[in-house]
């Protein structure tokens, strides 16, 4: 079942990609006590993710924070080393990269997609959400192959 507005995030392990290396965390630990704009991409370095999705959050970071967001985080079914390199290459150091290397978050949220025809295996669907102290306040799931509902611009209209 797909997570809904009003639901608490399931407690699953994640890895924060930092410049000092991977740092283990959980959803309960990371999202506790703060309001986070979370967006998910099917893969680091993929065309839409690199050209549009991540850049929209980089460009709108100060506006999101001005509307009560404490942190902006990106998740993908990639390892922490890839997420860290992508963050550095994209100049998006103000975005926290949450590696979901085994796809546990995507699976627990009911937001996986089958990327096998692209050689990517099971990945996360493209989505965005506002999470306040672990509870989903807003949720925007993209239709397959689309990019608009999960953009920073859309999330800003919901704050």
Residue 1 lies in a domain: no
Residue numbers annotated as active site: 49
Domain count, the chain: 1
C-beta of residue 114 within 8 angstroms of C-beta of residue 125? no
- pLDDT per residue over 24-45, tens digit each? 999 999 999 999 999 999 888 8
Q: CA-CA distance, 48 to 53, in Å (whole number)?
A: 6
Max intra-chain CA distance, the chain: 41
pLDDT of residue 57: 96
Assigned domain for 80 exists = yes
Structural domain including 49 reads: 13-157
Distance of alpha carbon 128 from alpha carbon 72, whole angstroms: 11
| Residue 154 token pair | 């859309």
Predicted confidence (pLDDT) per residue in 51-110, tens digit: 788 999 999 999 999 999 999 999 999 999 999 999 998 888 889 999 999 999 999 999
Q: Is residue 2 part of a domain?
A: no
Identify whether 7 is part of a domain.
no
- Residue 19: pLDDT band (50, 70, 90) is confident
122: in domain: yes
Whether 4 maps to a domain, the answer reads no
**pTM, to two decimals:** 0.94
Interatomic CA distance for residues 44 and 47, integer angstroms: 9
Domain of 134, CATH number, reads: 3.40.30.10
Q: Is residue 6 part of a domain?
A: no
Residue 5 lies in a domain: no
Confirm if 17 and 99 have CB atoms less than 8 A apart.
yes
What local confidence, expressed as pLDDT, does residue 46 receive?
81
**144 pLDDT above the threshold of 80:** yes
């Amino acid at each position: 079942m797909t997570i809904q507005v009003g639901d608490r995030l399931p407690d699953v392990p994640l890895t924060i990609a930092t410049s000092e290396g991977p740092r283990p965390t959980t959803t309960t630990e990371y999202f506790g006590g703060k309001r986070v704009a979370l967006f998910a991409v099917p893969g680091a370095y993929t065309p839409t993710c690199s050209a549009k999705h991540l850049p929209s959050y980089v460009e709108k970071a100060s506006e999101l924070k001005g509307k009560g967001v404490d942190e902006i985080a990106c998740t993908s079914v990639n390892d922490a080393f890839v997420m860290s390199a992508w963050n550095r290459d994209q100049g998006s150091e103000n975005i926290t990269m949450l590696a979901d290397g085994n796809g546990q978050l995507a699976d627990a949220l009911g937001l996986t997609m089958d990327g096998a025809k692209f050689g990517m295996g099971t990945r996360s669907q493209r989505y965005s959400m506002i999470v306040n102290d672990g509870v989903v306040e807003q949720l925007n799931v993209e239709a397959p192959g689309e990019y608009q509902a999960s953009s920073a611009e859309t999330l800003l209209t919901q704050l």
